[in-house]
Structure 1
Amino acid sequence: MLTEERFAIILETVQQKRSVRVTELCALLNASVSTVRRDINTLAEMGKLVKVHGGAIALNEGSFSAVEKDVAEKAQLFTEEKEAIARYAASLVDEDDFVYIDAGTTTEKMIDYLPQKRVTFVTNGFIHARKLAQRGFRVYIPGGELKLSTEAIIGTECILTLNNYHFTKCFMGTNGISVHAGFSTHDISEGSVKTAVIDNSIQTYVLSDHSKFGKVTSVTFAQLNRGQIITDRLPDKTYSSYTSIKEVM
């Protein structure tokens, strides 16, 4: 198949499905992974689509963000909204729960509102772990690499540890929420940790202010139907067709 033919099929598929994975395109084009990735890179450079980890999305599929703010910057944004989200999320923790709390500025705020119940926590946020211990809770930290910009523990060792756990509930952060790209984050290592947690949780709650809707970042860690969203307000009611959403303001 000629290069131009592959380009046309890739663009048509992306426009129809809004997002597509490399593996899907390999089967459709009967082409190798390296060929498809090269085609996606070229089309992205031409401004025809947006390259994301593992595939591509349409240009008008929300706004794409390639740069992640550090914790200090994030902490200054939407503070009232995050407080309201965190307060409601904390109310969902029950006696004898085994809970995972993701690293992040909104999830950190949860800790101040947690009820004094018999609950065990696991977190990959080292600031979160300290605050939980100070509140008197039993808390575990997985091993792994410390990512300073997000104050999160990540990496293969972290995932191996988390795969041994079975959580009643997990409370996750996200950098983007999109109908077609799902929940996304900037870093593949952080994304892999999030996916492992969700796969090992009975109930998943994703904490996000309204600004994350319609945004896509580099790595999808779960589709929308994998988690219930807790937000301050929902800017687009379309999302309610894909998962349960709780507005708290």
Structure 2
Amino acid sequence: MLAEERLAVILETVQQKRSVKVSELCNLLNASVSTVRRDISTLAEMGKLTKVHGGAIALSENFAAVEKDMEEKAHLFLKEKQAVAQYAASLLEDGDFVFLDAGTTTENMIGFLPKKDICFVTNGLFHAKKLAQRGFRVYIPGGEIKCSTEAIVGAECACTVARYHFTKSFLGTNGVSVSAGFSTHDVNEAQIKSAAIENSIQAFLLTDHSKFDQITSVTFAQLSQAQIITDRLPDAKYRSFTTVKEVL
């Protein structure tokens, strides 16, 4: 196959699937890994797609390589996060056993929580303190502390979370994408999020509009596995994959 033909096939595949791995393209083109990587680089330089580790994604979905720390995140889209958090808090009922993910949007939920008989498990250090101060029963799983996000992460934490059975879980995400689902920067945090979602009757992803069409390093759930609560939905296509609640 000529180089021009390979480039056309790669571009068409990426546009159809929104993301594709190098290994998939090698099989499709019957070409070597080095050849496919070189072709992806060529298309990226031409501005036709975005090159990412292990493959390529369509231009409409951006790859975010760097994660902001908690202090930076806390000041972004504050009004939107508070509106999302307030609605999410209103969903809690007496007797709920809840996983509350570390993160700035989930932290905003705490101030809006109703005074009901609710028990929490959280991997957010500051979250746990605020929940306890409000009089809720709260459990913290063991594991490694990640300073940049003030989260407890790691295999030990994931194993603990996987043993629980939650009525509801509320989680944050760094990216929301049709091709990559819900994603985060850290594989250790992804393990915790996946475990919580898989062991919840209802799972809610809290996000502002800026996270849509964004992909980060690790997928922790597909769109169909959780409902989305957001300030506004930039693209109606997401309603084909899951329930979306807009609060502004």
The answer to whether structure 1 residue 18 and structure 2 residue 11 are counterparts is no
Q: Is the 8 A contact 1:44 1:51 kept in 2?
A: no
Residue type of the partner of 1:73?
Answer: E
The residue number in structure 1 matching 2:102 is 103
Q: CA deviation at 1:56?
A: 3.1
Q: Is the 8 A contact 2:52 2:63 kept in 1?
A: no
Aligned-residue identity in percent: 62
Aligned pairs (5 A) from 1:96-245: 96-245=95-244
Q: Is the 8 A contact 1:40 1:51 kept in 2?
A: no
Q: CA deviation at 1:104?
A: 0.5
Under a length normalisation based on structure 2, what TM-score does the superposition of the two structures give? 0.87
1:72-91 CA-to-partner distances (Å, cap 9, x unmatched) read: 01000111111111010001
The answer to whether structure 1 residue 91 and structure 2 residue 101 are counterparts is no
Partner SS, residue 117 of structure 2? coil
Partner SS, residue 68 of structure 2? coil
Segment drifting more, 198-207 vs 232-241: 232-241
Count of residues in correspondence between the two structures: 243
Under a length normalisation based on structure 1, what TM-score does the superposition of the two structures give? 0.87
Segment drifting more, 186-195 vs 136-145: 186-195
Return closer, same or farther for 1:142/1:231 CA change in 2, 3 Å cut-off. same
How far apart in 1 are the matches of 2:198 and 2:4? Answer: 40
Return closer, same or farther for 1:189/1:39 CA change in 2, 3 Å cut-off. farther
Q: Is the 8 A contact 1:11 1:49 kept in 2?
A: no
Identify unmatched segments of 5+ residues in structure 1: none
Residue type of the partner of 2:153?
Answer: I
Return closer, same or farther for 1:129/1:60 CA change in 2, 3 Å cut-off. same
How far apart in 2 are the matches of 1:201 and 1:138? Answer: 18
Q: CA RMSD in A?
A: 2.6
Q: CA deviation at 1:169?
A: 0.5
Partner SS, residue 128 of structure 2? helix
Q: Is the 8 A contact 2:153 2:188 kept in 1?
A: yes
Segment drifting more, 214-223 vs 102-111: 214-223
Q: CA deviation at 1:14?
A: 3.0
1:124-152 CA-to-partner distances (Å, cap 9, x unmatched) read: 10000000111111111111111111111
